[in-house]
A and B are shown apart, each in its own frame.
Chain A
Amino acid sequence: MLTGLLASSLTAGVLAQPTPGQSAPKFRATDVAGKQVSLADFNGKYVVLEWNNPGCPFVQKHYDSGNMQSLQKRFGAENVAWLSINSTADDNSDYMAPAKLAAWFKQHNAAPTAVLMDTKGEVGRAFGAKVTPHMYVIDPNGTLVYAGAIDDKRSTNVADVKTASNYVVAALTDVKAGKPVSKASNQAYGCTIKYSGM
Chain B
Amino acid sequence: MQFLSALAFTFAATVALPAASQSLPRFGAPEKHVEAELIAATDAIVPGQPLKLGLRLKHEHEWHTYWQVPGDSGLPTQIKWQLPAGFSAGAIDWPHPKRLPVGPLMNFGYEGETLLLTTVQVPANLVVGTPVTLTAKASWLECKDVCIPGDAQVKLTLPVQAQAAPSSSTALFNASQARVPQGTLAATASIDADRIRVALSPPAGKTLDKVEFFPLEEGRIEPAAPQVLKSEGGQFAIYLTAAKPTGADFKSLKGVVVANGGPGTANGWASVVQTTLAAGAAGTATAPGASAGASTSSMSLLTALGTALLGGLILNLMPCVFPVLSLKLIGLAQHRTHSGPMAAHGLAFAVGVVLSFVLLAALLIGLQQAGSALGWGFQLQTPWVVAALTVLFFGIGLNLLGVFEFTMATGVANLKAADALAHKSDWRGSFGTGVLAVIVASPCTAPFMGAALGYAITQPAFIALSVFAALGVGMAAPYVLLTLFPKLLEKLPRPGRWMELFKQFMAFPMFATCVWLLWVLAQQVDAGGVALALGVLVAVGFTLWALGQSQRGARFFRWVAAVGGVLAALTFAPIAVSEALAPGTRTTADAGWTEYSVEKLAQLRGEGKAVFVDFTAAWCVTCQVNKRVALRAESVKSRFAADNVVLMRADWTNRDERITQALAQFGRNGVPLYVLYDRTGEAAVLPELLTEGIVLAALDKLKEKSKLN
A residues sitting closer than 8 Å to B (CB atoms) are 1-15, 17, 19-23, 25-26, 54-58, 92-94, 96, 100, 104, 107, 125, 130-131, 139, 141, 143, 154-156, 178-187, 189-195, 197-198
The answer to whether A9 touches B669, judged by C-beta atoms less than 8 angstroms apart, is no
Cβ contacts A to B, 30 pairs, < 8 Å: A2-B439, A3-B367, A5-B446, A6-B360, A7-B380, A9-B445, A9-B450, A10-B454, A10-B457, A11-B377, A12-B454, A14-B104, A14-B222, A14-B225, A19-B669, A20-B667, A26-B522, A57-B141, A94-B145, A96-B25, A100-B21, A125-B104, A178-B685, A184-B667, A189-B75, A191-B146, A192-B72, A192-B74, A192-B107, A194-B103
Closest to A126 in B: B523
Task: Give the chain B neighbours of A96 by CB distance below 8 A.
Answer: 25
Residues 408-428 of chain B, each 1 if its beta carbon lies under 8 Å from chain A, else 0: 000000000000000000000
Given the interface pairs A154-B75, A155-B75, A186-B219, the reply to whether A130 lies near B105 with Cβ below 8 Å is yes
Whether B447 and A191, one on each chain, are in contact in the complex, defined by CB atoms closer than 8 angstroms, is no
* Segment 19-33 of B: residues with Cβ below 8 Å from A: 21-22, 25-26
B442 touches A93 (CB 8 A): no
**B534 within 8 Å of A by Cβ?**
no
Name the 6 nearest CB pairs between A and B, nearest first: A198-B103, A12-B450, A187-B219, A2-B442, A21-B668, A184-B667
Bound-state CA distance A168–B313 (Å) is 49
B552 within 8 A of A: no
- Residues of B within 8 Å of A180, CB to CB, are 666-668, 685
- On chain B, the residues within 8 Å of A9 by CB distance are 445-447, 449-450, 453-454
Smallest CB gap from A184: residue in B: B667
Proximity bits, B577-595, A CB within 8 Å = 1, else 0? 0000000000000000000
In the complex, what distance in Å separates the CA atom of A66 from the CA atom of B389? Answer: 51
Give chain A residues whose Cβ lies under 8 Å from the Cβ of B219.
186-187
Interface string of B447-472 (1 = CB under 8 A from A): 10111011001000000000000000
Our pick among A21, A130, A139, A156 for the contact of B673 (Cβ within 8 Å) is A21
CB within 8 Å of A: which residues of B?
21-22, 25-26, 72-75, 102-105, 107, 141, 143, 145-149, 218-219, 222, 224-226, 241, 243-245, 360, 363-364, 367-368, 371, 376-377, 380-382, 385-386, 388-389, 392, 439, 442-443, 445-447, 449-451, 453-454, 457, 522-523, 622, 663, 666-670, 673, 684-685, 687-689
In the assembled complex, which residues on chain A have CB atoms less than 8 Å from the CB atom of B367? 3, 7
Q: In whole angstroms, what is the CA distance A57 to B241 when docked?
A: 30
Write out the residue numbers on chain B whose beta carbons fall within 8 Å of the beta carbon of A23.
622, 688
Do residues A6 and B666 form an inter-chain contact, with CB atoms below 8 A?
A: no
Q: Are A94's CB and B25's CB within 8 A?
A: yes
Q: Looking across the interface, which residue of chain B has its beta carbon closest to that of A147? A: B245
In the complex, what distance in Å separates the CA atom of A11 from the CA atom of B193? Answer: 13
Known: A8-B446, A156-B141. A15 touches B104 (CB 8 A): yes
- Of B245, B388, B442, B669, the contact of A3 (CB 8 Å cutoff): B442
Highest count of chain B CB atoms <10 Å: which of A8, A92, A100 = A8
Besides the known contacts A15-B104, A57-B147, A100-B21, 5 further A-B residue pairs in the complex with CB atoms under 8 A apart: A13-B450, A20-B668, A21-B667, A22-B670, A93-B145
- B230 to chain A minimum Cβ distance, whole angstroms, is 15
Number of A-B contacts (CB under 8 A): 181
A93 to B62, CA, bound (A): 15
For residue A134, give the distance in angstroms from its CB to the closest CB of chain B.
Answer: 9
Q: Is the CB of B145 within 8 A of A194?
A: yes
Query: Contacts A15-B105, A19-B669, A194-B145; is A4 near B381 (CB within 8 Å)?
Result: yes
Across the interface, name the chain B residue whose C-beta is closest to A140.
B687
* Chain A, residue nearest B27 (CB): A93
Asked if residues B245 and A10 are in contact (CB atoms below 8 Å), the reply is no
B146 touches A13 (CB 8 A): no
Q: Which of A19, A57, A141, A192 contacts B245 (CB 8 A)?
A: A19
Of the residues A25, A94, A179, contact of B685 by C-beta under 8 Å? A179
Contacts of A6 in B (CB 8 A): 360, 364, 442, 445-446, 453
Pick from B72, B439, B688: contact of A141, CB below 8 A.
B688
Complex interface: chain B residues within 8 A of A12 (CB): 447, 450-451, 454
Chain A contacts of B389 at CB under 8 A?
1-2, 4-5
Residues A57 and B148 in contact, CB atoms below 8 Å apart: yes
Cβ–Cβ < 8 Å partners of B74 in chain A: 191-192
CA distance A151 to B147 in the complex (A): 20
Residues of A close to B687: CB separation below 8 A: 139, 141
Complex Cα distance, B692 from A135, in Å, reads 33
Kindly identify which residue among A14, A22, A182, A191 contacts B147, using a CB–CB cutoff of 8 Å. A191
Given A6-B453, A10-B457, are A190 and B73 also a contact pair (CB < 8 Å)?
yes
Q: What distance in Å separates the Cβ of B324 from its nearest Cβ neighbour in chain A?
A: 15
Most buried by B among A3, A56, A139, A194: A3
**Chain B, residue nearest A182 (CB):** B667
Nearest chain-B residue to A197 (Cβ)? B103
Which residue in chain A gives the minimum CB-CB distance to B226? A13
Closest to A92 in B: B145
CB neighbours of B244 from chain A (8 A): 17, 19
In the complex, which residue of chain A has the Cβ closest to the Cβ of B222? A14
Q: Is the CB of B669 within 8 A of A21?
A: yes
Which residues of A sit under 8 angstroms from B243, Cβ to Cβ?
187
Question: CA of A167 to CA of B263 in the docked complex: distance in angstroms?
Answer: 40
Inter-chain CA distance A125–B523, complex, in Å, is 14
The residue in chain A whose Cβ has the minimal distance to the Cβ of B448 is A9
Q: Which residues of A contact B368 (CB under 8 A)?
A: 7
Beta-carbon contact of B149 and A156 below 8 Å:
yes
Contact of B26 among A7, A94, A183 (CB under 8 A): A94
Return chain A residues, CB-CB under 8 Å to B218: 187
Contacts known (A57-B148, A93-B26, A191-B73); A184 close to B102, Cβ less than 8 A: no
A176 to B143, CA, bound (A): 38
- A26 CB to closest chain B CB (Å) equals 8
Q: Are B376 and A7 in contact (CB under 8 A)?
A: yes
Given contacts A4-B381, A6-B446, A125-B104, contact A191 B26 (CB under 8 A): no
Which residues from A are CB-within-8-Å of B245? 19-21, 184-185
Complex Cα distance A64/B52, Å? 39
B667 touches A93 (CB 8 A): no
- Contacting residues, chain A, for B457 (C-beta < 8 A): 10
Q: Which of B371, B442, B673 contacts A5 (CB 8 A)?
A: B442
Chain A residues with Cβ below 8 Å from B105 are 15, 130, 192-193
Contacts of A20 on B, CB cut-off 8 Å? 245, 667-669
Contacts A178-B685, A186-B219, A187-B243 given: A5-B443 contact, CB under 8 Å? yes
Q: Are B670 and A131 in contact (CB under 8 A)?
A: no
- Chain B residues with Cβ under 8 A from A156's Cβ? 75, 141, 149
Contact, CB under 8 Å: B75 / A3? no
CB contacts (< 8 Å) of A198 on chain B: these are: 102-103
Give CA–CA (A93, B222) in the complex, Å.
27
Contacts of A197 in B (CB 8 A): 103
CB nearest neighbor in B for A25: B523
Residue of chain B at shortest CB distance from A125: B104
Q: Which of B149, B224, B241 has the most CB of A within 10 A?
A: B149
Q: Are B146 and A94 interface neighbours, CB within 8 A?
A: yes
B668 touches A57 (CB 8 A): no
- Give bound CA distance, A110 to B19, whole Å: 23
Q: In the bound complex, how far is the Cα of B668 from the Cα of A181, in angstroms?
A: 9
Which residues of B are found within 8 Å of A56, using beta-carbon distances?
A: 146-147
Q: Is the CB of B224 within 8 A of A183?
A: no
Shortest CB–CB separation between residue B315 and chain A, in angstroms? Answer: 13
User: How distant is the Cα of A12 from the Cα of B224 in the complex, in angstroms?
Assistant: 11
Residues of A within 8 A of B454 (CB): 9-10, 12-13
Whole-angstrom distance between the Cβ of A170 and the nearest chain B Cβ: 12
Chain B residues, Cβ within 8 Å of A104 = 25
Closest to A100 in B: B21
Closest to A16 in B: B523
B102 nearest CB neighbor, chain A only: A192
Interface centre among B104, B243, B443, B687 (most CB of A within 10 A): B104
